[in-house]
Amino acid sequence: MKRRTFVQNSLAISAATLVSTTTACAKSNKKSHETGLKGNIQHSVSRWCYGKYSLEELLPIMKSMGMHALDLAGPDDWPTLKKHEVDCSMCNGAEINLIDGWNDTQFHEQLIKQYTEMIPKVAEAGYKNLICFSGNRRGMTDEVGLKNCVNGLSKIMPLAEKNGVIIIMELFNSKIDHPDYMCDNTPWGIQLCDALGSENFKLLYDIYHMQISEGDIIRTIQDFHPYFAHYHTAGVPGRNEINDTQELNYPAIMKTIVKTGFKGYVAQEFVPTYEDPIESLREAIKICDV
């Protein structure tokens, strides 16, 4: 299943009351040591990459590896996460899709309504991060798109601040995977963060996407890490395993992230190619356990 399809099928909104993020993180650190992990990285995995598994199958496997968070899970999934004591490292379900986003005013009314409904539910569930997208350019200049994003997002930021929820916009590449996507480079995303001026708006720095868009991964993390609240991984080229079949040096990248003092999650978001996809995930956790 491709991520675009999975996200579009994950927009149902429902309420759930779960353990707090603080408690979940404490359990994650303790259990990481029990599984032999160093505990310097909080490991997560994107749900859509392992869509062939039910949550009842996937969550115990994750926990056996020392992973205690699932990425890109919506409210319908939260009760199952609670049952297995697994955190939701990135919530979704308020967005329209990946191409109709905050840069286009025609979508503002719907987005404001959906985020206004979702933000309190994320907080009530004890979660912290809620994803959003810029949307595609459709001939729009970056300057106009930036202004539109600021005008729209500013309507929901007071509610996010009140509820302690961080609205996080993901950086995509527009060269290969998401043609015409506006937030396709770090400088534009940083301009948006600065224009909004809220500690509750950050960026999801997708290492795979930004290697394709701009490269210079380690220097970018060193220089701009205060803007990054979350990280995604995948191998370049191909978006597959993060081992030595691809060009990124993930142990070095993870060490850089640790040195910045980052305490959030790093989520594996590659498409596994191994006959046993779980072995791909196990290998990735080992590579990133620095």
Say whether pLDDT at 18 is over 80: no
Say whether pLDDT at 21 is over 70: no
Q: 2: pLDDT confidence band, cut at 50, 70 and 90?
A: low
Runs of H (alpha helix) within 51-185: 55-64, 78-83, 108-124, 142-153, 157-163
For β-strands 166-170 and 265-268, DSSP reports them as unpaired
Contact between 30 and 57 (Cβ < 8 Å): no
CB neighbourhood size of 111 (10 A): 23
Contact between 98 and 73 (Cβ < 8 Å): no
pLDDT score for 34: 58
Burial 207-246 (b: 16+ CB within 10 A, else e): bbbbbbbeeebbebbeebbebbbbbbbbbbeebbbbeeeb
Mean pLDDT of 167-188: 98
My answer on whether omega of the bond before 237 falls inside 30° of 0, hence cis, is: yes
Set out the domains of the chain in order of their start, with CATH numbers: 3-288 (3.20.20.150)
Say whether pLDDT at 24 is over 60: no
Q: 65: pLDDT confidence band, cut at 50, 70 and 90?
A: very high
115-169 tens-digit pLDDT: 999 999 999 999 999 999 999 999 999 999 999 999 999 999 999 999 999 999 9
77-110 tens-digit pLDDT: 999 999 999 999 999 999 999 999 999 999 999 9
Of 85, 91, 81, 66, residue with least CA distance to 24:
85
Mean pLDDT of the chain: 91
What pTM was estimated for this model as a whole?
0.88
